A = this chain, B = another copy of it.
């Protein structure tokens, strides 16, 4: 079962607005096992829309148009699609009543265009618009692909799609069974390396499928299974997950589309009631501001320090000037002294420190050289050396991610791994 989405609107084509409808429709179609191989954006133009419909009808079983159902002269999707599938348009009485009632109640003048919003294809099925006036429509076409007409405003599209269109599609197309997916999140391994290591699993599977996706400084894998029941789909996913974990489990940190490494660490800290602080040099507050994104973090995060210059490391963190003199700022000894200083100053259970070179060169170290120190409860303080790249801001971001991962591994008692 293949669908094609055609988003109609000159304002999308000009880039004046970003089309967030098509991704939503695609995601929800996937839950019914309906694939979309193409999405098209076309302006409010009869000829070009007809041409897009022509092309789509050769490659899809279902064409979904979005937009162009409104009351302005620009809006011509319904008229053009009905011309294309040779359907006459008739009025949906409840939709018309709603339009008439609104204009009467607000004493606004009503034009013929307002009334057009109540039209739907004679052999089709009108779809209720709970948050607007333009009625949608699903038409099962005996002579070509079926068509589904949805409104353009996102606040109209989503309720119509979820409450009215999807049930109609499910009734018409659902084979049997369910589609289920799970997202695994990894830190410390690049996308290309992960894909290489899982090549067999990714390439040879059709059910479940495994799709990698690189996010900023991390990678996710989406496992999607199709089965008769949810339990059976979950079993397929569990098996695939076990195979994946056997290969790259060392880098796994959590599940879900909306999870992040800072949330993972924030949750760990909050659930263990471990108070944290930080002493930041080259990250300049980025670790603390990243942690600050986590709702509820104030339970375990009281504050910390940004010590950019050597003098502030001494003044605010009580780092021994001789340590800096002897080892330099970018050193294991300074990272350790910073972590210990912050832990004492804030009375925290965990203190993390960052000192290194964001860009340029410092003390003979090249950009990307970073020492991260960690003082955890009464354990001996430790520091780890990292080599990142040449870009200032990316180096700072990568240092923060590495710091978060170090805290996670420390709290969970996991061994450190080589980033690759």
Residue ranges of A at the interface with B (Cβ–Cβ < 8 Å):
10-20, 22-28, 30, 36-43, 45, 48, 51-52, 55, 59, 70-74, 102, 105-109, 111, 113-114, 131, 190-193, 195-196, 199, 203, 211-214, 222, 257, 278, 280, 283-289, 291-293, 295, 298, 301-309, 311-312, 316, 345-346, 358-360, 366, 368, 387-389, 391-393, 396, 420
Contact = CB atoms under 8 A, between A and B. Distances in A.
Nearest to A362: B298
B304 A285 contact: yes
Given A15-B27, A285-B287, A309-B302, A42 B48 contact: no
Given A72-B192, A298-B308, 15 more contacts: A12-B39, A13-B36, A15-B22, A15-B24, A74-B195, A105-B368, A105-B387, A107-B387, A111-B193, A111-B196, A280-B285, A283-B289, A283-B292, A293-B393, A302-B307
A113 B192 contact: yes
A40 to B, nearest CB: 5
B295 A286 contact: no
- Of A70, A191, A288, A420, most buried by chain B (CB within 10 Å of CB) is A288
Nearest to A131: B391
Contacts of A19: 18-19, 23
B27 A37 contact: no
A4 to B, nearest CB: 10
A405 to B, nearest CB: 16
A17 B387 CA distance: 27
Nearest to A11: B213
Contact of A303 (B25, B213, B278, B312): B312
Nearest first, the 8 A-B pairs at minimum CB distance are A284-B292, A285-B285, A285-B288, A15-B23, A15-B26, A303-B312, A15-B27, A286-B289
A17 B11 contact: no
Given A26-B15, A284-B291, A293-B393, A108 B298 contact: no
B285 A105 contact: no
A306 B288 contact: yes
A66 B41 CA distance: 15
Contacts of A25: 15
Contacts of A15: 22-28, 30
A51 B55 CA distance: 11
27 contacts: A10-B211, A12-B23, A12-B39, A13-B37, A14-B26, A14-B30, A14-B36, A16-B23, A17-B23, A22-B41, A40-B40, A70-B192, A106-B368, A108-B193, A108-B420, A111-B193, A284-B291, A285-B285, A285-B287, A285-B288, A292-B308, A295-B359, A295-B392, A298-B308, A305-B306, A305-B316, A306-B306
